[in-house]
Chains A and B, each alone.
Chain A
Amino acid sequence: MSRRSRLVALWRRIEAGHEQMFVARWRQGLRREARQRQDVLRALVLLDSLGVENPVAYETLELIPHLVADLHEWHQRLGRESFGDPGVCC
């Protein structure tokens, strides 16, 4: 193996390690944050199902089908055919 290709291979390994150590972890963190934000939004719109009065229920009626559909897609992606709490999703 030439000196050059050895250097390239080393560079690749360092890059992969960096990716694994930092970028992947960073991305995971971001995904988690995004998921959390979506959950907060869902909770805010579906307040009634948590037993909290929702002062803007009427204004957000149109969002309900989308949020329930999102939730459905999410629990299916996780491999669960039905989603526990009755009334929240199937």
Chain B
Amino acid sequence: MSCRLRFFGGKGGVGKTTLAAAFGLLAANGGARTLVVSTDPAHSLGDALATPLGERPRQVAHRLWAAEISGEAQAGRRVEEITRDAERALPREVLPAVRTHLQRAVHSTGTVESALLDRLIELTESAEWDLLVVDSAPTGHMLRLLTLPALLTPWIEGLAQQRRSARDVDRMAAGALGSAAEADPLLDRLHERKARMEGMVRRLRTDALVHLVLVPERLPLAETLRTAETLTESGVHLGPMIVNRVLPGSEAGLLAQRRRQQEEVLGQLDGYPQVRVPLLAGALTGQTELAALADLLAAAGLPGTAGADLR
């Protein structure tokens, strides 16, 4: 069985990392082998779990693994691999040019996102985990990540078609019409990339759920509503939103004023399924503290916290 995906996205500073870690802990306790990864270039998942993390998943609790992955590292690994293959297969005088081109491509726009996505695909293909919790970078970044496969697939298809027609015309000119087409490594690779992307598009539409996290203030609200719309349009399923740091009780003075603003924001969220997390005292780092938050999430009825019902 392929593993399920849960994304935690939202504006910077709303508590995505802490909530993703707490959710991971909850799912692990519920029986799912869970991997929590952070894709934010400024990682803080290690801080939340109070343990140093790296590129490779590390077990941090019973049934719980965590990693801080980076697109640059993945792109670097892939270039190394391709260079090694090229060294074996190609004449020596072309190798410097190949290296120059590879380096240029690595620094191209969009490469980091594509590489991150590639790494995520790699992790979801592993049979080691039932659930992959992704603590993504702020909204714009996550949107790009989630819409990338659908964007790239037609481009890759276009390249494959160009290559195919070039070869067909070439073979026609050589009078080799009808003879069996020989294998083309270029076309094979294009098809492979395309199949991988299409697989991810399918996965994102069927196995992934996105939780948008916000705090009850106006700016995060506006961004959240926009994101919700864009994601729905691109066919990604939205899970309940998580409203973090909701002021409890009835205070006087400044806090009372903040509460009125908060009510206004919450009022605008009425139509959406949501889970509310109260403002908590203290820094939520380390597993004991996160467990308290996890209990709150479970009590608030966030779906998928039991191993069996991840959707």
What 0/1 pattern do residues 36 to 70 of A give for CB contact below 8 A with B?
01101100111011000111111111111111110
Instruction: Using known A-B contacts A58-B111, A64-B82, determine if residue A48 contacts B101 with beta carbons closer than 8 Å.
Output: yes
A9 surroundings in chain B (CB, below 8 A):
none
B167 surroundings in chain A (CB, below 8 A):
34
User: Nearest Cβ in chain B — how far from A47, in angstroms?
Assistant: 8
User: Nearest Cβ in chain B — how far from A57, in angstroms?
Assistant: 4
Q: Which label, helix, strand, loop or mixed, suits the secondary structure of the B interface?
A: helix
CA gap between A4 and B75 in the complex, in Å:
72
Interface residue? A14 (CB, 8 A): no
**Range for the number of chain A residues in contact with chain B:** 35 or more
Q: Is the CB of A44 within 8 A of B169?
A: no
Q: Which label, helix, strand, loop or mixed, suits the secondary structure of the A interface?
A: helix
Residue ranges of A at the interface with B (Cβ–Cβ < 8 Å): 27, 30-31, 33-34, 37-38, 40-41, 44-46, 48-49, 53-69, 72, 87-90
Task: Using A34-B173, A90-B93 as known contacts, list a sample of 9 further A-B pairs with CB atoms less than 8 Å apart, ordered by residue number in A.
Answer: A48-B101, A56-B155, A58-B106, A61-B105, A64-B82, A64-B98, A65-B90, A72-B91, A87-B101
Residue ranges of B at the interface with A (Cβ–Cβ < 8 Å): 75, 78-79, 82, 85-86, 89-91, 93-94, 96-98, 100-102, 104-106, 108-111, 114-115, 118, 151-152, 155-156, 159, 162-163, 165-167, 169-170, 172-173, 175, 185-186, 189-190, 193, 197
